[in-house]
């Protein structure tokens, strides 16, 4: 992590996010850390997540409830419409989409986000 001066709470928040594959909300991270960090506030979690996202250390994901991802490499996601879970999809990132978008629009394309949605394996098995 770079930019602002070191913060123990920021480090805890970042490590919790890095250790999760759930693409957690700020509230989830707060609930994970609060028992062992009684002085932690939800506002502190939000501020530090915003700072980390602004620095490019994590990715802010705009779902109905904002989620975060410590994996900043381009990749696709799947969001379950039933339970709300978010998963990484291990499919190749397609640079040709960026090139095609640049060609037809004339814009300089820095990247794209792909979010698939439907019913996850767990919900399909339960239903």
- Would you write out the chain's pLDDT as a tens digit for each of its 127 residues? 555 677 899 999 999 999 998 999 999 999 999 999 999 999 999 999 999 999 999 999 877 789 999 999 889 999 999 998 999 998 988 889 999 999 999 999 998 888 899 999 999 999 8
Residue 25, Cα to own-chain centre: how many angstroms?
Answer: 8
- Identify the burial level of 23 via C-beta atoms within 10 angstroms of its C-beta, where 0-12 means exposed, 13-18 middle and 19 or more buried: buried
Domain at 76-126, CATH from 3.40.50.720, 3.40.50.1370, 3.40.190.10, 3.30.1490.190: 3.30.1490.190
Report the pLDDT value the prediction gives residue 52, as an integer from 0 to 100: 96
> Which of 75, 71, 57 has the alpha carbon at shortest distance from 111?
75
Question: Against a cut of 0.75, is the pTM above it?
Answer: no
CATH 1.20.1260.10 assigned to domain 8-69? The reply is no
Report the pLDDT value the prediction gives residue 47, as an integer from 0 to 100: 96
Sign of CA dihedral 18, 20, 22, 28: negative
């Amino acid at each position: 992590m770079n930019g602002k001066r070191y913060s123990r709470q920021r480090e805890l928040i970042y490590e919790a996010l890095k250790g999760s594959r759930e693409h957690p909300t700020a509230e989830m991270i707060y609930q994970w850390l609060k028992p062992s960090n009684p002085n932690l506030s939800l506002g502190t979690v939000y501020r530090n997540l915003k700072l980390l996202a602004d620095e490019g250390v994590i990715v802010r994901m705009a779902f109905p409830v904002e989620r975060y991802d410590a994996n900043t490499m381009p990749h696709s996601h799947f969001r379950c419409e039933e339970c709300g879970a978010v998963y990484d999809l291990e499919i190749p990132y397609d640079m040709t989409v960026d090139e095609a978008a640049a060609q037809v629009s004339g814009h300089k394309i820095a990247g794209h986000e792909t979010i698939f949605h439907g019913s996850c394996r767990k919900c399909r098995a339960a239903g």
